[in-house]
């Protein structure tokens, strides 16, 4: 093992060996097996040792310059202590290295850019989810997923609030991260989701925010519905007038809008939401293959819950929405396939914000409140059904809620008081009871009779 080159490996000795490199390894005179080996890159600290089975092994400690003589000697001493206890320092080192690599693979960045990216790219909004996590948790990307804690979340929420981020935005970002961690836990990459039971602390709402929440999830009053339909007609009239002017001033090649029922997609799109309660994404993603005008049904996968419920659902359509779709279908040339409401720019799917400006215009023409959201048409659909006495389970199915508790939480308060009707019906079927006035009269007569009897017998 050891040749004739022996020297106490001090800093001074190593500096001299660096200037005049030896031909062969130089062993330390004090620590058995500890030596330096020369190479073109310089001197490398190594250690010869024997395992408990008698097998000779070499442990590379590091290069001189990266390690000092004292550090290398300390590492060699610790390695020999492991040997003395029957262990194998090289195996320990390899295990530590493997653990370090495993920890690196378990960082948020590694999983986000690796296995989770593959999963998310199969989803419609997967790329947006990956960007959201990258942006919202940039400071955590090199943290092992298992080490993310409640304290981290609380600090993170405080930082986001200080930047003026809305609670709802922070909640969506944390929800995206929790879904990633659950994905990693299910695949045994980490032992468990460390944020499984952790939620953000909801800040107190201002009066303005409470008013905004109330206006967001509400139904339309009768006069508002009338105004909405008038606004849709006014929108169409305006478009037709613009077209007439364009055709009269050198653009006769443009199609005549007076001869068609719908000037563009806006009115049928909004009526579709009003009459069906579909989410905007399900309307923009609606295809003619999903629609059966003969039977008045739509059968499609609901986009919001597609990752949990990939099977298509069937929804009945009222005669009003069937009429709207039939008219639009005929106007579009009776296509058998393709998007029901394609983009007018490229024929593809409309952007998720594409209805914001048209809705603002219709809302203004209708004289409706500025804070009335397009999504309120969906809430109106559910609210009107519930107020009409429709069973909550049926409403839940029509709204495509994944859990009836969602329907109960948002719409149960609108139900007619069927419990009062039930007890009143029960009381009506029971024998008639005397009212309080009759009982008082009977009591007074009994007292009066008792006083007379007392006088007679007295």
CATH of the domain at 55: 3.30.160.390
Q: Which of 70, 104, 138 is the last residue of a domain?
A: 104
Task: Provide the CATH number for the domain around residue 339.
Answer: 1.10.443.10
- What Å distances lie between residue 65 and 43, 55, 59, 287, 312, CA to CA? 8, 30, 18, 68, 66
Place of tokens 């069973």: 391
Q: What is the CA radius of gyration of the chain?
A: 39
The predicted structure's pLDDT at residue 2: 45
What total of structural domains would you count in the chain? Answer: 4
| Among candidate residues 301, 321, 323, the one with its CA nearest the CA of residue 310 | 301
Task: Provide the CATH number for the domain around residue 122.
Answer: 1.10.150
Q: Which of 73, 104, 135 is the last residue of a domain?
A: 104
Same domain, 348 and 238: yes
Same domain, 116 and 94: no
Assigned domain for 389 exists: yes
Domain of 27 in residue numbering reads as 11-104
Partner residues linked to 144 by β-bridges: 107
Assigned domain for 419 exists: no
Q: Which of 104, 132, 166 is the last residue of a domain?
A: 104
| Cβ pair 239, 257 in contact under 8 A | yes
The predicted structure's pLDDT at residue 456: 38
Low-confidence ranges of the chain (pLDDT < 50): 1-3, 209-215, 447, 451-458
Helix, coil or strand: residue 259: coil
Helix intervals (H) in 295-435: 319-331, 356-366, 376-387, 392-398, 404-411, 418-428
Same domain, 301 and 388: yes
The DSSP-derived string for 354-388 is TTHHHHHHHHHHHT--TT--TTHHHHHHHHHHHHT
Cβ neighbours of residue 93 under 8 Å, at least 6 residues apart?
A: 59
Same domain, 236 and 382: yes
| Among candidate residues 455, 457, 269, 296, the one with its CA nearest the CA of residue 377 | 269
Same domain, 347 and 282: yes
The predicted structure's pLDDT at residue 186: 93
The predicted structure's pLDDT at residue 168: 87
Partner residues linked to 315 by β-bridges: 298
Tokens (6 digits) for 330: 């005929």
The pTM (predicted TM-score) of the whole model is 0.56
| Cβ pair 49, 57 in contact under 8 A | yes
The predicted structure's pLDDT at residue 88: 86
The predicted structure's pLDDT at residue 210: 46
Assigned domain for 215 exists: no
Assigned domain for 323 exists: yes
* Residue 400, Ramachandran bin (φ over 0: left; ψ between -120 and 50: alpha; else beta): left
- For the four alpha carbons of 203, 205, 206 and 208, in that order, the dihedral sign comes to positive
The predicted structure's pLDDT at residue 44: 94
Same domain, 74 and 122: no
d(CA 338, CA 231): 29
| Among candidate residues 280, 274, 278, the one with its CA nearest the CA of residue 298 | 278
The predicted structure's pLDDT at residue 306: 75
Helix, coil or strand: residue 422: helix
Assigned domain for 321 exists: yes
């Amino acid at each position: 093992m050891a040749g004739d080159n022996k020297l106490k490996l001090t800093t001074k000795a190593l500096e001299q060996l660096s200037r005049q490199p030896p031909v062969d390894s130089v062993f330390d005179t004090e620590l058995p097996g500890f030596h330096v080996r020369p190479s073109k890159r310089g001197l490398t600290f190594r250690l010869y040792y024997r395992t408990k089975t008698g097998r000779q092994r070499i442990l590379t400690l590091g290069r001189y310059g990266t390690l000092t003589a004292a550090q290398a000697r300390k590492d060699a001493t610790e390695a020999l202590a492991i040997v003395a206890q029957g262990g194998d320092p090289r195996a320990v080192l390899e295990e530590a290295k493997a653990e370090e690599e495993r920890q690196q693979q378990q960082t948020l960045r590694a999983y986000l850019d690796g296995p989770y990216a593959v999963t998310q790219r199969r989803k419609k909004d997967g790329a947006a989810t990956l960007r959201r996590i990258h942006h919202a948790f940039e400071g955590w990307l090199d943290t092992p997923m298992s080490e993310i804690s409640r304290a981290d979340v609380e600090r993170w929420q405080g930082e986001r609030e200080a930047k003026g981020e809305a609670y709802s935005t922070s909640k969506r970002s944390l929800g995206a991260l929790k879904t990633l961690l659950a994905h990693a836990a299910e695949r045994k990459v980490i032992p468990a989701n460390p944020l499984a039971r952790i939620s953000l602390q909801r800040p107190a709402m201002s009066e303005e925010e409470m008013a905004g929440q109330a206006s967001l999830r509400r139904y339309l009053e009768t006069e508002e519905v009338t105004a909405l339909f008038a606004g849709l007609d006014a929108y169409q009239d305006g478009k037709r007038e613009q077209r007439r002017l364009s055709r009269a001033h050198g653009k006769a090649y443009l199609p005549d809008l007076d001869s068609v029922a719908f000037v563009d997609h806006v009115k049928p799109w909004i009526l579709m939401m009003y009459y069906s309660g579909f989410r905007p994404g399900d309307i923009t993603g609606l295809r003619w293959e999903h629609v059966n005008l003969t039977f008045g049904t739509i059968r499609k996968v609901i986009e919001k819950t597609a990752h949990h419920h990939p099977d298509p659902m069937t929804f009945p359509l009222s005669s009003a929405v069937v009429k709207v779709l039939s008219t639009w279908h005929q106007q579009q040339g009776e296509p058998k396939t393709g998007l029901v409401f394609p983009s007018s720019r490229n024929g593809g799917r409309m952007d998720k914000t594409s209805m914001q400006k048209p809705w603002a215009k219709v809302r203004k023409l209708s004289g409706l409140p500025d804070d009335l959201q397009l999504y309120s048409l969906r809430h109106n659909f559910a609210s009107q059904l519930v107020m009409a006495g429709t069973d909550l389970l049926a409403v839940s199915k029509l709204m495509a809620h994944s859990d009836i508790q969602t329907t109960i939480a948002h719409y149960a308060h609108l139900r007619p008081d069927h419990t009062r009707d039930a007890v009143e019906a029960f009381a009506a079927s029971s024998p008639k009871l005397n009212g309080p006035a009759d009982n008082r009269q009977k009591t007074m007569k009994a007292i009066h009779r008792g006083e007379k009897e007392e006088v007679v017998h007295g």
